[in-house]
Structure 1
């Protein structure tokens, strides 16, 4: 029997303290629903007394009937006052949340320096605040702020703070490595001591300032903690919080603990990428378990081996966390890479033929020109389909034209695009906040009448890299475009000494790839049939 653990997600509170992350109330509701579906046990929504956005979130999310316990965050009462007259505690109890987390001081240095009060008054603040919240009918959790630093400085006082929280009826006592400077060995030793002397459920809340938040969380669980606090993708202040996307699968798949159901675990990659999209923060491709490169293979020897058995170079099966294996193709690729990619796409490939060698030579030539396919899977797939005779000519571009005008200090761009869809020529004009945006708008405007689903596609990232700086403004550039429809993400590449042409090439590939995906699901042919056109395969 696996040991059940409690997952406490604080993406919507601690995660939003990360630099560059700002979520609207609507964003927070959407993410809360995803977290609930993932199976976390607590969702900390924010501080209902700190700002109008969090107040609106708590009001709106109550209608969602979450299975997880919606949790409000606040601090212990002010020094030398009463809970009944503390506005923040009042907001907590009126938030409609089922639980409340109160943060309190456990480091004597902070009590004297930050709170500027006595050690005895701080203990009273902890006890009275937790008891007040519990008396309102809410579940009370205690976040022992700076606990590990406090324990190392004055273990007796740090433990006395925990004892007061237990006496007040805290459902969970959570040990916080607030500054993120504690080492795994210290975490293990201190948590073991706490578990031996405090008869209450213990949780762990770590920060990543030494790149040890995940390791420290695992050490705490091994030592007896049973609640994990963290965020999706490790978002959080300074260097971030413990990353639940790494912690949950490690505990469940490698250490024998039960965090969520197996089916819920399979949604982890989708949740991580969804939250990244809503937060408008690009996920690191090499993020463990859920990153785009987490199960990507480039070296020919590696690819040859995984085609025989994926365990040769993969520590788990990717589908267990909702990810997938990827084979990268570049100038380092061998025939195994090409065969693997072609088979993945369902292409009829003869391993004994010359076609694979021709494709490899073609890729090497293109990469010599500046293309990079390991970061542009969609362009690679289109290249392979063309090479193996599986191309889908859904539309063709007859011409395009761009005008850029400075009118009274305001720059405007306009694009004219002529495309051919199944024998029907379409001519469209559209503006944009720049030439690439204008081209994108014009192309979509031409195609949307045939393929309405492209309304759901948008560019999520756009990168331009100068390939040879010594050529200055005449240098070749490589444009990488990442597109998404909120379900899938794909990347395309274009190269030219003209940045507009490179962008256009990547843009057309992106739309073409998306439409091929629709075609696989039977979506394109019926729409084109209504126009009496034909799709040539």
Structure 2
């Protein structure tokens, strides 16, 4: 099995993506997770460019990394400056990393228009910089910027830049599709040519401006590249960099390449992708291949029927190989197989002929006609299954609620909520205030529930969405409310629909607390509930 080295540049190139900003602590945390995933290189930034990256390189040596090599990034020396006097090169040396990556121009157009120097002078910049850095006994990687554009326009010169870096002692040379405009067949031809001319390992660095960064990276490997640069979730400038979350499974599971430390490390991919998204404060893409929430989600009844017989019928890989999981979606388009699969997943042994199954499927279709959408609120869907097959699972019942909101010129607005709950045959009433009606309802329900279930205080709302379903009715329009809640370990989403936004919110809140108590409350949740129920 041939080896491909994985070079992660999330902390450098990834942070150049619009809306992405990481603190030094953020970068240190992500670096630790990348090391656990098993990447070979972590390009952490440009120590000479800003105080944040400078601080990172001062602190990164305290990390207890077990595999990855931290890499400092910079450019070749400036025109007209000796290597000993170039502040950029000096900052790379001062970063004290085992690996240094420098980029240099390989496109004659860029040399003449951007650097405003001669082609011969640029070759000297490359040679002098690589040679100088190698004199400090560092591993030096040369990134050939704009290589593929240069190869198309002036092939001889582009190749000469690579040969100069090799002559200077570069340990590997990376071909960069900096503008992201190359097509797979162009990448394949150029990489094949370069691999035939160089004696050092060849790498690939692609951008996604043509939606081809992953494809271009994979064809480069097929053509002889043994080093891939990319980012987690494809973060990066403009349209992003090559997405390692797609590259790694394709390389390891479909192309038979050895990456990471071990094949088993690939199971950390989904959690790593989500962790990086969380730290970067960028919502994970549900439709992202391999690691997205929808990557193994099945909705069509025919698909679910086949999946139940053999998952390979509609899955190219098993979700657990990348740390993801299969999801069966239920909607007004669903057949009975979807509901049966979901109920069986929860432990209820039911079939399509069960009257309760048919009744519940009709109920779901009726509810979705009214505006409910259970694809986005799987917790509410699970509650419907429990209510159908194990109604005694209910932990409480909301008997009534009342919300008032008041604002005067002299003070901020204040909402007050009063709720009456039946909990285990006892009636509880509570009153609480909040910054708004939903916040007040949350506090009032939590206050009443905590008398019997103190664990509810470990939960908190993390997202609240409202969608108007039919704007033609104006302020009387029906709204759909989605609430996402977490207990710090698990997250779940519930739904409410009504012409009254407070009532819809209250419905979603009730489902959220109910779901938590059934699934996660250590003292009261019935782990064997479904198995003990005869249906």
Q: What's the TM-score, normalizing by structure 1?
A: 0.91
Paired position in structure 2 for 1:340: 341
Q: Matched residue of 2:494: which SS?
A: strand
Higher deviation after alignment, 289-298 or 176-185:
289-298
Paired position in structure 1 for 2:478: 476
Asked whether the 8 Å contact 1:404–1:411 carries over to 2, the reply is no
Paired position in structure 1 for 2:240: 240
Paired position in structure 1 for 2:505: 503
Q: Matched residue of 1:510: which SS?
A: helix
Paired position in structure 1 for 2:92: 92
- Is residue 2:3 matched to residue 1:20? no
Q: Matched residue of 1:277: which SS?
A: helix
**2 CA distance for matches of 1:171 and 1:340?**
53
Asked whether the 8 Å contact 2:417–2:437 carries over to 1, the reply is no
Q: Are the structure 2 counterparts of residues 265 and 89 from structure 1 closer, same or farther at C-alpha, using a change threshold of 3 Å?
A: same
**2 CA distance for matches of 1:91 and 1:235?**
26
Asked whether the 8 Å contact 1:249–1:321 carries over to 2, the reply is yes
- Is residue 2:492 matched to residue 1:490? yes
**2 CA distance for matches of 1:403 and 1:158?**
72
Select which of 505, 517, 520 maps to 2:519. 517
- Is residue 2:304 matched to residue 1:317? no
What are the residue-to-residue correspondences of 1:378-389 with 2, within 5 Å? Answer: 378-389=379-390
Higher deviation after alignment, 86-95 or 507-516:
507-516
Paired position in structure 2 for 1:46: 45
Higher deviation after alignment, 181-190 or 163-172:
163-172
Paired position in structure 2 for 1:159: 159
Q: Are the structure 2 counterparts of residues 81 and 511 from structure 1 closer, same or farther at C-alpha, using a change threshold of 3 Å?
A: farther
What are the residue-to-residue correspondences of 1:286-435 with 2, within 5 Å? Answer: 286-389=287-390, 392-397=393-398, 399-406=400-407, 412-416=413-417, 418=419, 423=426, 425=428, 427=430, 429-432=432-435, 434-435=436-437
1:437-480 CA-to-partner distances (Å, cap 9, x unmatched) read 45445555665687676666554443322111110111111122
**2 CA distance for matches of 1:155 and 1:462?**
55
Q: Matched residue of 2:524: which SS?
A: helix
**2 CA distance for matches of 1:169 and 1:391?**
73
1:238-277 CA-to-partner distances (Å, cap 9, x unmatched) read 1111111111001111111111222210111111111112
**1 CA distance for matches of 2:29 and 2:451?**
30
Higher deviation after alignment, 88-97 or 236-245:
88-97
Asked whether the 8 Å contact 1:25–1:57 carries over to 2, the reply is yes
Paired position in structure 2 for 1:534: none
**2 CA distance for matches of 1:38 and 1:70?**
14
Higher deviation after alignment, 207-216 or 258-267:
258-267
Q: Matched residue of 2:186: which SS?
A: helix
Q: Matched residue of 1:267: which SS?
A: helix
Q: Are the structure 2 counterparts of residues 85 and 304 from structure 1 closer, same or farther at C-alpha, using a change threshold of 3 Å?
A: same
Q: Are the structure 2 counterparts of residues 455 and 196 from structure 1 closer, same or farther at C-alpha, using a change threshold of 3 Å?
A: farther
Q: Matched residue of 2:203: which SS?
A: strand
**2 CA distance for matches of 1:402 and 1:130?**
70
Select which of 463, 466, 474 maps to 1:464. 466
**2 CA distance for matches of 1:92 and 1:9?**
18
Higher deviation after alignment, 395-404 or 29-38:
395-404
Q: Matched residue of 1:257: which SS?
A: coil
- Ranges in structure 1 where 5+ consecutive residues have no aligned partner: 528-536
**1 CA distance for matches of 2:449 and 2:70?**
44
Asked whether the 8 Å contact 2:428–2:448 carries over to 1, the reply is no
Asked whether the 8 Å contact 2:407–2:414 carries over to 1, the reply is no
Q: Are the structure 2 counterparts of residues 22 and 516 from structure 1 closer, same or farther at C-alpha, using a change threshold of 3 Å?
A: farther
Asked whether the 8 Å contact 1:400–1:415 carries over to 2, the reply is no
State the Cα distance separating 1:410 from its structure 2 match: 7.5
Higher deviation after alignment, 277-286 or 397-406:
397-406
Asked whether the 8 Å contact 2:387–2:394 carries over to 1, the reply is no
Higher deviation after alignment, 506-515 or 451-460:
451-460
**2 CA distance for matches of 1:455 and 1:136?**
56
**1 CA distance for matches of 2:487 and 2:193?**
49
Paired position in structure 2 for 1:174: 174
Q: Are the structure 2 counterparts of residues 454 and 16 from structure 1 closer, same or farther at C-alpha, using a change threshold of 3 Å?
A: farther
Q: Are the structure 2 counterparts of residues 141 and 497 from structure 1 closer, same or farther at C-alpha, using a change threshold of 3 Å?
A: same
What are the residue-to-residue correspondences of 1:146-225 with 2, within 5 Å? Answer: 146-225=146-225
State the Cα distance separating 1:7 from its structure 2 match: 0.6
Paired position in structure 2 for 1:532: none
**2 CA distance for matches of 1:163 and 1:282?**
43
**2 CA distance for matches of 1:511 and 1:393?**
11
**2 CA distance for matches of 1:404 and 1:37?**
50
Q: Matched residue of 1:74: which SS?
A: strand
Paired position in structure 1 for 2:59: 60
